[in-house]
Amino acid sequence: MNTVVFLLLLMASGNVLGHEKPPHIIFIVVDDLGWNDVGYNNPVFKTPTIDRLAGNGVKLLNYYVASHCLPSRNMLMTGRHAIQLGIPNDGFGYHPRSLPLDETTIAEPLKHAGYSNHIVGKWHCGYYADNCLPHNRGFDTFFGFVGAGIDHYTHSDHFNHMHNLRKNDDCIAKKYIGKYSTTIFANEGKDIINAHDQNKPLFLYLSFSAVHAPLEVPSSYLKQYESTIHDEDRRTYAAMTSCVDEAIANITEALEEKNMLKNSIIVFTSDNGGALVNSAGNNWPLRGGKHTSWEGGVRAVGFVYGDLLPRHSRGTENTGLMHITDWFPTLITLAGGNPHVGKKLYGVDQWNMITGEDKSGRDDVLITLEEDNKAGAPYRTGIYKNNAFDITTHAAIKMGKWKLLTGPIGGPSDWVKPQEINSDHRIVEDRDFDATRMVRLYNIEDDQTETTDLSEINQHIVIEMLAKLHNFSKQSVPAQSRYIHVLILMGWENA
């Protein structure tokens, strides 16, 4: 290769943000974390490390994910929307189905860029065959579990109670019975950092099983909430969050001790809003929660931290529109890799937005489009009856300051105050809520709590956004069908 060409390629791929080495990327996902479940949004919660990193980084205040974990994690892994992947939106249960094997995961282009890739914790992108597992899809190692959730002490899954903690191809759950999942995952992350060859950049995807149910935590974390949170479930949930915070502190300390922190980018996100049912998450003052397309279900807590951020962007709150698919091209480009080696992406590179150098790279976000989720009778279509987009379809889209919801809402539609607020009216109901209405429009810029439906006085906006939904529906591929339980095909019945 010509020397000049080689040097130009080297500069293009390796000189990131003026630094000679690509950054280490630490990507942290906290499962089911609510908007109101971190200290910087709720001072009752003790999360000093999260608060410090967010306070010295860039908080993302207009950042959207899916309403539950299955589509969020598959979109994160590929930079492609759930409608492009055929990922079902019925993420309940524990189905052995897979992110399509012809999709490119974020780990693959990072590996081509020279990264060492490790996943610790929750995968949830399929497991019905060995080639679905992360260590066969671009990651060098996998230490964690494959499905929706596990017991934090026995490490058995929620639905069939089989042991579900693996190291690559081996089930290791029995070795860790009685040990708390958050601590186990943090220790594995530290071990990876301590053993890492600093001549290579590191991608550590650390995906905690907390604060997903079941509500379990070592008793030592409960004491700090005895006087502030009297509800037992909410107190346990808060303690789980504090344990995660301590785990993140241990990860950052390991990076610092290895002299890696100064060349690291840390991304922090939830996969969906806090769960209001069968858990104790909270999204106040946002409406709704997990499994809904209200803001409380799909607007996520998220931030970026790192010395590689320009000084003027540190400690800022960014209101640029962002989607979970954007991490794929943003981080791969930041790493000096090529994000466009596979199929057409939905995500866009948002680094210049994050750093405050430019506006968002997108004008709208398709939050959800579930072609197989239609409203049943009775319902009212009004003037939109003959629109090209079937408004009985469950969908949500954000365009600028506007958010449109169509079809059945599903899930809780209330505003839920946290248990730590002394109130006789913890659940605030929408007394005017009409389940037969198929179109709802909100100005999120002025009304982030989604209290006032403006669809009737902004019909031109509704029509424009329905046209966008129609275009997206033409791109949607059929959702994968449910598979029967075939865990025994992987030999886990005796694990």
Token reading at 108: 């693959």
Residue pair 209/145 in contact by the 8 Å Cβ criterion = yes
Confirm whether 171 is a catalytic residue. no
**Cβ 443 vs Cβ 402: under 8 Å:** yes
Q: 3-class secondary structure for the chain?
A: CCHHHHHHHHHHHHCECCECCCCEEEEEEECCCCCCCCCCCCCCCCCHHHHHHHHCCEEECCEECCCCHHHHHHHHHHCCCHHHHCCCCCCCCCCCCCCCCCCCCCHHHHHHCCCEEEEEEECCCCCCCHHHCHHHCCCCEEEEECCCCECCCCCEECCCCCECCEECCEECHHHHCCCCHHHHHHHHHHHHHHHCCCCCCEEEEEECCCCCCCCCCCHHHCHHHCCCCCCHHHHHHHHHHHHHHHHHHHHHHHHHHCCCHHHEEEEEEECCCCCCCCCCCCCCCCCCCCCCCCHHHHECCEEEECCCCCHHHCCEEECCCEEHHHHHHHHHHHCCCCCCCCCCCCCCCCHHHHCCCCCCCCCEEEEEEEEEEECCCCCECHHHCCCCCCCCEEEEEEECCEEEEECCCCCCCCEECCCCCCCCCCEECCCCCCCCECEEEEECCCCCCCCCCCHHHCHHHHHHHHHHHHHHHHHCCCCCCCCCCCHHHHCCCCC
Q: What angle do CA 477, 298, 344 make, to 5 degrees?
A: 35
Alpha-carbon distances of 375 from 298, 378, 390, 430, 455, rounded to whole Å: 20, 8, 10, 20, 19
Catalytic residue among 24, 69, 95, 163: 69
- Cβ partners under 8 Å of residue 191, min gap 6: none
The 10 Å Cβ neighbour count of residue 233 is 14
Which residue do the tokens 């279900």 mark? 297
The amino acid at 274? G
Q: Are 304 and 62 in contact (CB under 8 A)?
A: no
Of the candidates 24, 81, 95, 124, the residue annotated as catalytic is 124
**Would you please indicate which residues are annotated as catalytic (active-site) residues?**
69, 124
